[in-house]
Amino acid sequence: MSVQSPAPQKKPWFIALLSALDGIFIYLTAGISTREFRAMLRGDAPGRPNTRLTPHADAFLLHIKPSYYHESVTRFTHTYRLGLLSTYLFLFETITGIILMIWYAPTPERAYVDMIRLLNNVPFGQLMRDLHRIGAELMVGIVTLHMVRTYLTGSYKPPREFTWLTGVLLLVITLFLSFSGYLLPWDQLAFWAVTIGTSMAEAVPPAFVGEIINLLARGAPDIAANGLLRFYLLHVLFLPLLLILFFFVHYYKVVLYGISLPAQEEEVGEDTANRVPANRRVYYLPEVLLDEGTFLLAVTAIITAVTVFLFQAPLEHIANPQQTPFHTVAPWYFYWLQGLLKIADKMWAGVIIPGVLLVMLMAIPYLDRNPSRRGADRRVATISGIVAGVLMIILSWMGTPAYAVQG
Q: What is the DSSP string of 231-265?
A: HHHIIIIIHHHHHHHHHHHHHHHHHHH-PPPPGGG
Residue 328 forms part of a structural domain: yes
Question: What would the mean pLDDT of 35-51 be, rounded to a whole number?
Answer: 78
How many angstroms separate the CA atoms of 73 and 357, rounded? 30
Q: Can you list the alpha helix ranges (DSSP code H) found in 258-367?
A: 289-309, 335-343, 346, 353-367
Question: What would the mean pLDDT of 181-195 be, rounded to a whole number?
Answer: 93
Which candidate, 253, 207, 286, places its Cα nearest to that of 36? 286
Residue 13 forms part of a structural domain: no
CA 271 remoteness from chain centre: 26
Q: Are 68 and 275 in contact (CB under 8 A)?
A: no
Q: What is the DSSP string of 145-187?
A: HHHHHHHHTTTTSTT-HHHHHHHHHHHHHHHHHHHHTTSTT-B
Q: Which residues of 368-407 are buried (b: 16+ CB within 10 A; e: fewer)?
A: beeeebeeeebeebeeeeeeeeeeeeebbebbeeebeeee
Which pLDDT does position 202 carry in this prediction? 83
The model's confidence at residue 6, banded by pLDDT at 50, 70 and 90, is: low
Residue 340 forms part of a structural domain: yes
User: Quick one: how many helices (H) and strands (E) in the chain?
Assistant: 18, 2
Average pLDDT, the chain: 89
CA dihedral 305, 306, 308, 312 (to 10 degrees): -170
How many angstroms separate the CA atoms of 198 and 189, rounded? 14
- For the whole model, what pTM was predicted? 0.90
CA 30 remoteness from chain centre: 28
pLDDT(152) > 90: yes
More reliable by pLDDT, 60 or 247: 247
End-to-end Cα distance, the chain: 107
Residue 196 forms part of a structural domain: yes
DSSP-derived pairing of the beta strands 68-70 and 281-283: antiparallel
Instruction: For the chain, give the percent of residues with pLDDT over 70.
Output: 96
Domain hosting residue 124, numbered range: 68-370+380-393
Which candidate, 139, 108, 146, 104, places its Cα nearest to that of 122? 104
Which pLDDT does position 7 carry in this prediction? 57
Specify the amino acid at residue 14. F
Which pLDDT does position 360 carry in this prediction? 96
Residue 41 forms part of a structural domain: no
Residue 54 forms part of a structural domain: no
Which pLDDT does position 406 carry in this prediction? 53
Question: What would the mean pLDDT of 347-358 be, rounded to a whole number?
Answer: 93
3-state class percentages of the chain: helix first, strand second, coil last, to nearest 5: 65, 0, 30
Specify the amino acid at residue 136. A
The model's confidence at residue 41, banded by pLDDT at 50, 70 and 90, is: confident
How many angstroms separate the CA atoms of 93 and 137, rounded? 10
Question: What would the mean pLDDT of 138-159 be, rounded to a whole number?
Answer: 95
**What angle is formed at CA 284 by the lines to CA 90 and CA 79, rounded to 5 degrees?**
55
Which residues pair with residue 218 across a beta bridge? Answer: none
The model's confidence at residue 2, banded by pLDDT at 50, 70 and 90, is: low
CATH code, domain carrying 306: 1.20.810.10
Q: What's the domain count of the chain?
A: 1
- Listed range (116-120, 199-203, 227-231, 248-252) with the worst mean pLDDT: 199-203
The model's confidence at residue 403, banded by pLDDT at 50, 70 and 90, is: confident
Give residue-wise pLDDT tens across range 262-289: 888 887 777 777 788 888 888 888 889 8
Which candidate, 185, 192, 191, 178, places its Cα nearest to that of 114? 185
Residue 9 forms part of a structural domain: no
The model's confidence at residue 172, banded by pLDDT at 50, 70 and 90, is: very high
Which pLDDT does position 8 carry in this prediction? 64
Residue 403 forms part of a structural domain: no
CA dihedral 206, 207, 208, 212 (to 10 degrees): 100
